[in-house]
Structures are given as structure tokens and as C-alpha cells.
Structure 1
Amino acid sequence: MVEQFKDFLHALAHALRNLLPIIIVVLAFQALLLREWPEGGLSMALGLLIVALGVALFLQGLELSIFPVGKRLANQFARRGSMPLLMLFGFAIGFSAVIAEPALIAVAEQAAMISEGRIDALTLRLIEASSVGLVMALGVFRVILGHPLHWYMIVGYVIVVMVTFFAPEEIVGLAYDSGGVTTNIVTVPLIAALGIGLAASIRGRNPLVDGFGLVALAVMVPMISVQLYGILVYADPGTLAGGAEVLRAEADAAPPAGWVTMILDLFGMLRDVLPIILVILFFQYAVLRHPLASPLRVGVGFALVIVGLYAFVVGLKLGLFPIGQSMAAQLIGFDTWLWVYLFAFCIGFATTMAEPALIAVGQQAEEAAAGKIQGNVIRILVALGVAIGITIGVHRIISGDSIHYYIIGGYVLVILLTALAPRYIVALAFDLGGVTTSEVTVPLVTALGIGLASQIEGRNVLIDGFGLIAFASIFPIVTVMSYAIVMERVAKPGGKTR
């Protein structure tokens, strides 16, 4: 019990540390530029603390339940050597992890609210979860057979660009944002562990070249499926909600209150987590026919996951969403857009440098690369890419340009760099594009985009408000691959990249 409490305090300190860059940037802008405390500042501060508490409980629950059980299952299936069984397990884990992803829940609810129900939150999450499940099965197939990742990515992003060309503008930003948030606090550790574990256990596979890449595929495929969903949803003509009025009405609504509401919300969270519980129990008892090692410990872990998710969502409504919208409204009041661009850049860089998933992946890459990659250099490159991406995304909202051109141009550049980059960096670069957006960064950046779109005249929140997460996922790929290409050229002047 004492050990678990220490772990919880460590997780709480970890969550507060992730919030610290956001707090520093917001306070710096408030003190040095705006020189006023935002309206509802105390409520926002309370919301941030609740977010940190929710993330800590959630992480503690994962460490007690989902992570150890999932890793044991993956190892047992790998030892059996059955490809169909491994692919089925990959699908089930991918589906169940994404359906419970807190950042995706937040984005889906925002999309449903702004579109006035035209986009259904649960349908959106089911589409995303199914896509990631298929990706996991495909990724397991790729690792086992040793197929080069870059061909999967080039073909995949050509399809992404083609679908984007035909997709309605109301869905493009949301589709790319949704692709970015599927790989987050729940999915990244499970996906990365499965890929690296498989590559390490198969003779002739390289953990750096073959083990990474599952996260990248998990980002790409939902972009395609959500845009296809949007093509169906917006096939019939209908009125498009402006979104700003809906957003203001939601902001004026009271936060969850009362025991009845709390119990109902907790049951809602149980519904969100139930798929991954059922998947684990099914494979544990029906397929492997082994009992859980510590059923009480696992049960407590699942309870903490549910309570943590509830606290996280409440904290979002009180803290991170209002901060993003408030900062957007305040910065727009100046005669120049310079401060909006600077705020976007600082938030992107600061939060990414503190991103725990990025630190973990950087360390894994440094170990697997045997001196070719430095973890700290990777973090700086990725943080710079996120900062540039969010700044460009903010410019798109301010200018009112169509997101189609930016997204298509960005991924054409990514496809070109993929063909030129050294093979050892490709899978890692794509994975890094998927782990840059944390459970804290996603809601704040989403709220910033929605806040800008709702404050600038002539912008539509659904069309213009989403998309910042997409830019935050594209440009780290660009910066990391560009760096690898340059380093390869410097190391071998006139030589060809491998």
C-alpha cells in the first residue's frame, strides 16, 4: 500500500510537471503583456489541479492493471508464434485502448457539440478505434514479415492526400486532429511495447527499424476513415452550425454537480473503459486460459482508471478549455497578430519539451540506435517542429485559408522526405509525430483553435477551429527527417542516404 501511494505521488508530481510549461507561458503572457488575470481565473486554476489529479489517478490505474496485463498477454502470444492470434490480439488491444483515450473523448465531444449533433461523438470514437485496431493487426503483420515501413507510409499518405482532396472542409481539420489524438496516454505505451517486443523476439529484425512504426500507422489510418465518415455525413445538404453560439452556450453551462450527475458520469466512464476490460479478460481466460496474476490489484487499477478519467474530463471543462479560449480572446484584442503567433509557438515548444511520451521514446530510440541518435537532440527537433506547426496552423485560422492546401502540401513534403531520408530514421520520425501531443497539450491547443475561430469574424468553428493538432503532428516528422538527411550528407559528402 505504501509503495502504491509513493507511486501515486510520483505520478501526481509527473502530471504537475507536465502542466508547468503551460502555466509558465500563460502567466508570462498575463503578467508581461496582458497585465490582467483572466475572468474565472480561480476556476481555471482549480481545473488545472483537477486535471493533474485525474491524470495521476489514471496513470496509476494503468500501471496496476492495463499495462502489466497487456504486456504479459503480448509476450505470451509472441511465444506461441501464431500470426492470426497475434493479429487478432493487436486489433483488440488497439480498439479497446483508443475507445478509452481521454483526449479523443474530449475532441469528439467538442466536435459533436459544435456541429450540433451532426457529427456523433460515439460514432466518431468507434470509427477511430476500429481504424487503430486494423492498424495494429497490419503492423503486427509488417513486423513479422519484415516489410519496410516507408512503403506503407508513402502509399498510405498518398491515399490520405487523395481523400483530403475530396473530403468536405467541415471534416478535414477534425479528421487530422483525431488522427493525432489516437496515439496518446493509453495507446502509445501499449503500441510501442508490442512493436518493439515483437521486433526484439524475431531473429533478423532490428528494434529501431522494425519495432517502431505502429504509432505512425495508428495516426495515419484514422485520418482516412474519419474523412470518409465526413463525406457520408455531409453528403446531404444541410445547415452547418456556426459553432460560436453553441460554444458560448456550453461555456455558460454549469459544470457537473450533484451526486446523481457524478454517478451517471462515472458510469459513462465505465462504459468507455469497459471494452479494454472485456478484451483483456477474454484473451486471458478464453484464449490463454490462465487466471489473472493479481485480480484484486487489477480491479483496483481499473477503478482508478475510471475515477481518473472522470476527474480529467471535469478538469478540462474547468481549466484547459477555458484557458485556451480566454487567451485567444485576450490576444486578439491587440492591434497586431504577432502576440498570437508568439503564444502559439511558445505553447507548442514548451509543452512538447516536457512531454513524457516523447522523453520515453527518445530514450528507447537512443538505446536502439547504438549511437546514431541522441535523445536530447530528438526532443529539441520535435519541440521545434510542434512549435512551427502550431504557429502555421494559427496563421491558417487568422488568414482564413482552406486547410486542404496546407494539409496536402505538408504531406507531399513528408512523402518526399520519406523517399530521401535514411531508412533508420523513417519509422522513428513518423512515431515521433504521433507522440508529441499529450493529454494536457491536446485540449489546450484544441481550445486555442476553437477560441480563435469563434472570435475572428467570418470564421466557422467547425471548419476553422480544428486542425492545430494536425500541424503539430506533421512538422515534427519534417524536422526530424530533414535533420537526418543533413547529417547523412555531412557524414558522407556526395554519398547517397541509405
Structure 2
Amino acid sequence: MKPLLAFWHTLRHSFNNLLPIILVVGVFQALVIRQVPDGLVGMVIGLGIVVFGVAIFLQGLELGIFPVGKNLSNSFARRGSLPLLMIFGFSLGFAAVIAEPALIAVAEQAESISEGRINAFTLRLLVAFSVGLVVALGVVRTLLGQPLHWYMIIGYLLVVTVTFFAPEEIVGLAYDSGGVTTNIVTVPLIAALGIGLATSIKGRNALAHGFGLVALAVMVPMIAVQFYGIVVYTLFPSDPGLVNAAGGMAQVKDVDTAVQTNAGSYMLGMLKDLALMLRDVLPIIAVILFFQYAVIRKKLPYLQRTVIGFSMVIIGLYAFVVGLKLGLFPVGTSMAEQLIELDNLLFVYLFAFCIGFATTMAEPALIAIGEQAEEAANGKLAGSHIRLLVAGGVAIGITIGVHRIITGDSIHYYIMGGYALVILLTLLAPKFIVPLAFDLGGVTTSEVTVPLVTALGIGLATQIEGRNVLIDGFGLIAFASIFPIVTVLLYAIIMEHFNPAKGASS
């Protein structure tokens, strides 16, 4: 009975995560667009599959992967072996990201729109390897008690420098790839590792030293993917015009059609896709089993529950990917098409702001991080205030990103300007808030928000004449990650200015 109640709670939690999107889309359809979108039944079914898939996936994490991962982290922390902790951190970061649903979705969209020049699996491997290295580095930082702000300042100076030289086809995708690494699997695992280490080491502060791993996991993939783009587009140039807006749009439609046919009509296709999903999740299962049996050399506790949990992760992940292609991608592209046809750009900006704010306020990872931050700061930070600041930042960021697509401006200047502002604020802000601020920039994009925002960007780029889908369609997730950092740092600077004693005591 208890497992059923737990699943029902998780199902409601998953639906509540999707509810803000439904409300915003419903209000705009009823009051602004005033028409029923094409393929409404398919969208509703897809959204239902997303809710069900995420619920199964989260329940599987709670039953199988999280307990084993937490047990491994505690065991390695007690041993105090730095090389072992670094190897475990790398393996955990790599395995969690390679199975990340949002990264899978973005990588497949990028491969489709680029007509194969960007390889989806190569992109995922590159991002996962980057995150693995970052988590290993973050473990060292926590153990040594080094401040995060110099890591972030130097890192983002490098990010901005690489952006200046990167081809425009890869910049938006690179920043989106960094934004989606911290999501449904990665945030709980990585955040728990950092906070657990900080609380177990004497002289470390959970707020100053426990947070920051998520922030590093966002930053480094941006650099790696941009270097990948330099290799693909500069060292191995292809025929000009290979990827254009019309071709990109056709590819997206072909993908959606193929998914609907494959998922809805052919059992063999479903079994094949399920096998591929098993391949995607296999790395994290392999890492956990290897460290459990080969390093700690203890049997898995509650083996049956763990096996059931792993199975639920695979099934839930498969349902999620099918559902987002049936539901969330069409919703995003349909809304973009309908709003552009209104010939009133104010509604486009308003929709972008509302969808950014509403989805972020319901983001489970943000709620969890806010509660952890409030507890770590002994009540000096309010979790509800953090959520409002971050949601406002996401809303502003997505609105600015939509403006860039509409005007056709180069993403280079927006991104470089945004992170230049972040670097300046990092130097001015009280140092206790810096790790949390950067972590909050990484947890703003949920497993539901990412596909919708990605589809909105691609939809706008296909509907506006003269836009290139690969160049202009990606990048909205990046804006959703930058501006929450800005709002949180600004808030801390203002609060310290008006109440310096409280800021110093934090």
C-alpha cells in the first residue's frame, strides 16, 4: 500500500510541475489566440505520457538509484581517499548526464536540424565527459575549502573568450547543452555529493562549500561544445546553405512524424526504442554496481527494491521521451506559430515571460535547493524569496532570448554581455551567496521546461523569415540560466548594502 501511495504522491508532483505550462498555454489559447490548435488530442495524450513517465522515473530514482548512490558517497567520505572520491565523482557525473532526458532531447533536435553535422551521441558524450571532470574538480575544491568565485570568474572569462571565436551555428546549442546538464537526474545526485562532503568535513560551511558543483557542471560543457563546434564548422566546413530554416523545419516535422508513427503504430519500434533507452541508462547503473561490488565489496541492500527501481527508471525515461515529442514539442512549435500569426509581438514577449515565471516557480529541483539553502543559512535566506528571484530571472532571460530571435541579433553579444555582467556582480557580491547563485542558475530548467522552451525557440526561428533554425532556434535555455544568477547576486548586494551586519554574519 505504501509504494502505491508514494507513486500517487509522485504522480501528483509530476502533474503539478506540468500544470503551470497547461494554465499559461490554456489562457493564451482562450483569451489571446482564440482558436483550438491542430493536433490537440495528440498533444494532450503526449502531455499525459510525460506526466506518467516522469512520475515512474522519479519513483525509480527514489527506490533504486538514490539510496545506492547516497550509500556510496557516505562510504567514500568515511574512507577519506581523495583519488577514490575523484574517480567516483567523475563516474557519477558522467553516468548521470549521459542518461539525462533533456540532453537527449536537445541533442536529437540538434542532429536533426543540422542534418547530421552535429552527432547527437558525440554531443552527449562530450557533455557527459565535461561534467564528470567538473564533479571531480568540485570534490577537490570542497575538500580543500577553496572559494568558488575565482573558479567561476576564470571559467566564465574562458567561456566568453571561446564564444568570441566559436561559429554562430554552435553558440546557442553550446549554452543550451550546459543548461540542460543539471536536471532531473544530475541535480539531486551532484548536490547531495557536495553538501554531504561539506557537512562531513570539519571547518567547512554547507552554504559556502557544499554548493557549487551544479554551477561548475553548467559551465564547462559550454566550453567543450563550443570547441566541438569550431572543429565541425571551421576545420571541416561543408557546403554553404546545408542547414537553413526551411530544411530545419522540415527535419523537425519529419522527426515528430517518425516518433508518432513509431510510438503509436509499431510494437517492434517501441521495443527497439526501449532497448535504446536501456543503453542510455546503462552507464549510471554500471557505475553504481561497479563501485558497490568491486570497490566497497558489499552486496546491495534491498536488492529486489533496487532492481524494481532501475527498471522503473528505464520505463519512465522512455515514456518521457516519447511523450515530450508527442506533446511538449508540438505545443511549443504550435504556440510560436500561432503567436507570430497575430502580428502583435507584445503577445510573444508576454507568453515568453509568463511561461518562464510559471514553470520555474513549480520547478522541483529549485524548491529542493531553496529548502537546502534556507537550512544551510540557518534561516538567513528564505526559500520562497529565492524562488521568486529565480523565477523572475528566468522570465526576464527567456523574454530577452525571444527578443534576440525576433530581431535576428547575434547571440554572441548577448551571451558575452550577460556573463560579463555576471562576472562583475560576482566580484561585488558577498562571497557566501556566490556558490548558491550559480547553482540556482543551473536548476531553473526542468525536464518539462527544457523541451517546451527549446521547441518555442525553434518554432519562432522557423516562422520568422530570414532566421536560421540552428543559429537562432537554440539559446533560450542559456538565457534562462544567466539571468537568475544576476537577480540573486543583485539581491544579495542590495541586502548587504542596506544591512551590512546581516550580510557579514552570513
Alignment TM-score, normalising by the size of structure 2: 0.97
Q: Counterpart of 1:95 in structure 2: which amino acid?
A: F
What is the match of residue 386 of structure 1? Answer: 394
**Structure 1 residue 124 and structure 2 residue 123: aligned?**
yes
Q: Counterpart of 2:334 in structure 1: which amino acid?
A: S
Q: Distance in 2 between matches of 1:394 and 1:430?
A: 23
TM-superposed CA distance for 1:370, in Å, is: 1.5
Q: Counterpart of 2:197 in structure 1: which amino acid?
A: L
**Structure 1 residue 250 and structure 2 residue 255: aligned?**
yes
Q: Distance in 1 between matches of 2:267 and 2:49?
A: 18
| Partner SS state of residue 261, structure 2 | coil
What is the match of residue 195 of structure 2? Answer: 196
What is the match of residue 48 of structure 1? Answer: 47
Q: Counterpart of 1:170 in structure 2: which amino acid?
A: E
* Aligned pairs for 1:41-190 within 5 A: 41-190=40-189
What is the match of residue 22 of structure 2? Answer: 23
What is the match of residue 437 of structure 2? Answer: 429
TM-superposed CA distance for 1:496, in Å, is: 9.1
**Structure 1 residue 483 and structure 2 residue 491: aligned?**
yes
Q: Distance in 1 between matches of 2:229 and 2:261?
A: 30
The question of whether the paired residues in 2 share the 8 Å contact of 1:160 and 1:224 is answered with yes
What is the match of residue 322 of structure 2? Answer: 314
**Stretches (4+) displaced over 3 A:** 251-255, 495-498
TM-superposed CA distance for 1:255, in Å, is: 3.3
Q: Counterpart of 2:252 in structure 1: which amino acid?
A: L
Q: Kindly tell me: are residues 475 and 420 of structure 1, through their superposed partners in 2, closer, same or farther at Cα, counting changes over 3 Å? A: same
What is the match of residue 415 of structure 1? Answer: 423
> Could you tell me which of 283, 308, 313 is aligned with 1:305?
313
The root-mean-square deviation of aligned C-alpha atoms, in Å, is 1.2
The question of whether the paired residues in 1 share the 8 Å contact of 2:256 and 2:326 is answered with no
TM-superposed CA distance for 1:497, in Å, is: 11
Q: Distance in 2 between matches of 1:350 and 1:274?
A: 34
What is the match of residue 276 of structure 1? Answer: 284
Alignment TM-score, normalising by the size of structure 1: 0.98
Q: Distance in 2 between matches of 1:58 and 1:278?
A: 18
Deviation by residue 1:166-220 (Cα, 9 ceiling, x = unmatched): 0000000000001000000000000000000000000000000000000000000
Q: Counterpart of 2:378 in structure 1: which amino acid?
A: A
Q: Distance in 1 between matches of 2:123 and 2:13?
A: 30
What is the match of residue 232 of structure 2? Answer: 233
Q: Counterpart of 2:348 in structure 1: which amino acid?
A: V
What is the match of residue 451 of structure 1? Answer: 459
After superposing the two structures, state which structure 1 stretch, 332-341 or 232-241, moved more: 232-241
The question of whether the paired residues in 1 share the 8 Å contact of 2:33 and 2:342 is answered with no
After superposing the two structures, state which structure 1 stretch, 235-244 or 470-479, moved more: 235-244
Q: Distance in 2 between matches of 1:455 and 1:462?
A: 13
Deviation by residue 1:225-262 (Cα, 9 ceiling, x = unmatched): 01011111112221331112222333444432321111
| Partner SS state of residue 446, structure 2 | coil
Unaligned runs of 5+ in 1: none
Q: Kindly tell me: are residues 285 and 451 of structure 1, through their superposed partners in 2, closer, same or farther at Cα, counting changes over 3 Å? A: same
The question of whether the paired residues in 1 share the 8 Å contact of 2:187 and 2:214 is answered with yes
> Could you tell me which of 471, 475, 482 is aligned with 1:463?
471
The question of whether the paired residues in 2 share the 8 Å contact of 1:255 and 1:317 is answered with no
The question of whether the paired residues in 1 share the 8 Å contact of 2:183 and 2:447 is answered with yes
| Partner SS state of residue 65, structure 1 | helix
TM-superposed CA distance for 1:288, in Å, is: 0.7
Q: Counterpart of 1:246 in structure 2: which amino acid?
A: Q
Q: Counterpart of 1:42 in structure 2: which amino acid?
A: V
Deviation by residue 1:105-128 (Cα, 9 ceiling, x = unmatched): 000000000001110000000001
The question of whether the paired residues in 2 share the 8 Å contact of 1:92 and 1:279 is answered with yes
**Structure 1 residue 374 and structure 2 residue 382: aligned?**
yes
Unaligned runs of 5+ in 2: none
* Aligned pairs for 1:341-360 within 5 A: 341-360=349-368
Q: Counterpart of 2:473 in structure 1: which amino acid?
A: G
Q: Distance in 1 between matches of 2:505 and 2:165?
A: 35
| Partner SS state of residue 35, structure 2 | coil
**Structure 1 residue 326 and structure 2 residue 334: aligned?**
yes
Q: Distance in 2 between matches of 1:249 and 1:84?
A: 47
Aligned length: 496
What is the match of residue 32 of structure 1? Answer: 31
- Identity across aligned pairs (percent)? 72
Q: Distance in 2 between matches of 1:487 and 1:277?
A: 44
Q: Distance in 2 between matches of 1:218 and 1:194?
A: 13
TM-superposed CA distance for 1:6, in Å, is: 1.2
Q: Distance in 2 between matches of 1:380 and 1:125?
A: 32
What is the match of residue 6 of structure 1? Answer: 5
Q: Counterpart of 2:266 in structure 1: which amino acid?
A: G
**Structure 1 residue 474 and structure 2 residue 482: aligned?**
yes
Q: Distance in 1 between matches of 2:81 and 2:256?
A: 51
| Partner SS state of residue 447, structure 2 | coil
